[in-house]
Chains A and B, each alone.
Chain A
């Protein structure tokens, strides 16, 4: 059986004459985690809204689990929208019951599954509390629970990390991996490359509505090769720009990512560095997604729709 969970083919969407999504195609295999990456305004949310049939594409095809979008599919998808919201006056338990029922679950099953998830997320003590009594982080966790309560086959998360503190981000990351272990296929969007890098199997990078990079994470990275050197230093690193064998570099103040024209020059670089600044660490790395992204897409402007 074909194990393609999601297939987008040549999606195009215009808003007021501006192209928000320009010929985006994505294929997602069963059990994979795909990161839809790009800065704000790149067209990520618009793409996800089209997958969810919230807005209609101007052209292009969308197939989910091999089918065109239909009512029956809704119970097999979990969707977390970009902006979060729950009914403030409802209790946690009522919230789970409501959203579970909307996904076609019976109330006894919602109770067992809900309690299991609440425990996992450290929210079980709040079962009888109203949403308005929860902190922002708790409410977000609860919303993620409502998204996965029906054990969907396909999970679509729009910016799942936004608005969370580092501890909760870790938690959400763990949860995404946990879902993967359960066999759930996941697509999520984020502009936080560093977090995505640690959990995705494959990536689709979009910029100004266009797909710029697409593929397996390792393939993407190795395509850029190990031409990158990462240093941690003290001192003034500006002189690096004058070194002729350096192709490009990115200075973060205490850390620097340097790309060499030829990796053989790495010893020469180290010598030059040591003579000018104090080096704390020096390592050969793959480029970060952030770096790859910056090289592929610069000058993004905010587009409507996000």
Chain B
């Protein structure tokens, strides 16, 4: 930073000219304007669409049930009467057509036999049922075999099997029905049945995030999703602007503008002017996003899940800006070194790949962060300067790390960035004027010594 200040004082006008040029060049681009407007729109869609779908598109699913065991049906109907989930989302139909039932029954038996003798035949569904599903007359078919009590196996056939909520509901309902049946059969004392049922009843967790301001109700899903979401934004902005700088450097190198620039001002002014100019453009974009996001939230706050609102605090916004700036400097220096050292875009992609990995690794560690943000591995990696901007930010977003750790991570990464800038400016000076051939070690030493 001191370097930058010194260059500013000595060369104020020239570096300003470069900063302004770089800033304007980015901000005037169509892609910049589109991304600036489109990203909040996508963000809004990301938040609102699932919400709208659950509210407006509350579609009842029609599930047909073939109960060969004949022990589930009665109890299931009993449960359905008072169940909120069934009332809102499911329509259950028990099949009575015996002919079809028999046909399917033998198909199931064939399948079960093939499992036993390990010939592994495919599961076959009677054509009528199959067509009903494919024609979207029903959303699913649940087959409960005769021997369910022993095998505890049920068959569920549908086009879409990823409705976890429904799967869980069907499984646990049948499980409960079966267990109470078995208990009632074997134990005569209804008091004991009740005790066992109580003992094995499922647990419903209510999740709270504890912060200094107090406890906020949340679901683990929201915190995880939101922190991955913020990490994605940070990642794409760092990558995007890093690559912009890299390509800009290669362009100047290829059309030799760089020779004119170097003969008019020093390399440091060029290097820092570029990074600062493009960085300001990035900050403008992120700033616009934040303001737009804030306005959108204000307008539609009633509709948004409270756990999301609780997540997006002003504090988090400030940390986002801090880590964006640090991360931006760090990665744009790396990208500009690559740009200065290569001659073509293809070469650049190749050499930039390791930098991309550095940005992707936090995503992998990210899962650990959400599970436990305070394990030594997570703390250690979040203090490692190259990962700090992403991982420390993620830790802050899911839990509140010790303030001393946040400060330490900022200090370490700022120190690292200054070191990187010093070295980067030197390498930039050598690389940017080398065409086609690699500089010799002797030459590099000569330039590093050069003042």
Interface size classification for chain B: 20 to 34
User: Is the C-beta of B263 less than 8 angstroms from some C-beta in chain A?
Assistant: yes
User: Is the C-beta of A185 less than 8 angstroms from some C-beta in chain B?
Assistant: no
- If over half of B's interface residues share one DSSP class (helix, strand or loop), that class is named, otherwise mixed; here it is helix
- The count of residues in chain A whose C-beta lies closer than 8 Å to any C-beta of chain B is 32
- Which of B14, B256, B263, B447 gathers the greatest number of chain A CB atoms within 10 Å? B263
Give Cα distance in the complex from A90 to B26, angstroms: 11
B260 near A146 (CB under 8 angstroms)?
yes
B14 near A85 (CB under 8 angstroms)?
no
Question: B118-165: which have CB < 8 Å to A?
Answer: none
A104 near B257 (CB under 8 angstroms)?
no
A74 near B265 (CB under 8 angstroms)?
yes
What's the nearest-Cβ distance from chain A to residue B366, in Å? 38
- Which residues of chain A come closer than 8 Å to B11, judged between CB atoms? 71
1/0 per residue, CB under 8 A from A, across B271-289: the answer is 0000000000000000000
- Which residues of chain B come closer than 8 Å to A75, judged between CB atoms? 264
- If over half of A's interface residues share one DSSP class (helix, strand or loop), that class is named, otherwise mixed; here it is loop
User: Is the C-beta of A294 less than 8 angstroms from some C-beta in chain B?
Assistant: no
User: Is the C-beta of A183 less than 8 angstroms from some C-beta in chain B?
Assistant: no
A86 near B265 (CB under 8 angstroms)?
no
In the complex, which of the residues B13, B256, B264 contacts A82, with contact meaning CB atoms closer than 8 Å? Answer: B256
Question: B234-261: which have CB < 8 Å to A?
Answer: 252, 254-257, 259-261
What's the nearest-Cβ distance from chain A to residue B254, in Å? 8
What's the nearest-Cβ distance from chain B to residue A96, in Å? 12
- Which residues of chain B come closer than 8 Å to A81, judged between CB atoms? 256, 259-260
User: Is the C-beta of A77 less than 8 angstroms from some C-beta in chain B?
Assistant: yes
- Which of B17, B25, B254 gathers the greatest number of chain A CB atoms within 10 Å? B17
1/0 per residue, CB under 8 A from B, across A199-236: the answer is 00000000000000000000000000000000000000
1/0 per residue, CB under 8 A from B, across A89-103: the answer is 110001000110111
Give Cα distance in the complex from A94 to B259, angstroms: 19
* A81-B256, A82-B256, A101-B14 known; A15-B437 Cβ under 8 A: yes
In the complex, which of the residues A16, A56, A74, A146 contacts B446, with contact meaning CB atoms closer than 8 Å? Answer: A56
What's the nearest-Cβ distance from chain B to residue A86, in Å? 7
User: Is the C-beta of A276 less than 8 angstroms from some C-beta in chain B?
Assistant: no
| Interfacial residues, chain B to chain A (CB-CB below 8 A) | 10-11, 13-14, 16-18, 21, 24-25, 28, 252, 254-257, 259-266, 433, 437, 443, 446-447, 450
Can you list 26 A-B pairs with a CB-CB distance of less than 8 A? A49-B259, A53-B263, A71-B10, A74-B263, A75-B264, A77-B263, A79-B259, A79-B260, A82-B256, A83-B255, A84-B255, A85-B254, A85-B257, A87-B21, A87-B25, A87-B257, A89-B28, A90-B25, A101-B14, A102-B14, A102-B17, A102-B18, A103-B264, A104-B13, A104-B14, A147-B260
Given contacts A49-B259, A77-B263, A103-B264, 10 further A-B contacts (CB under 8 A): A16-B437, A54-B263, A54-B433, A71-B265, A89-B28, A98-B21, A99-B260, A101-B16, A146-B260, A304-B437
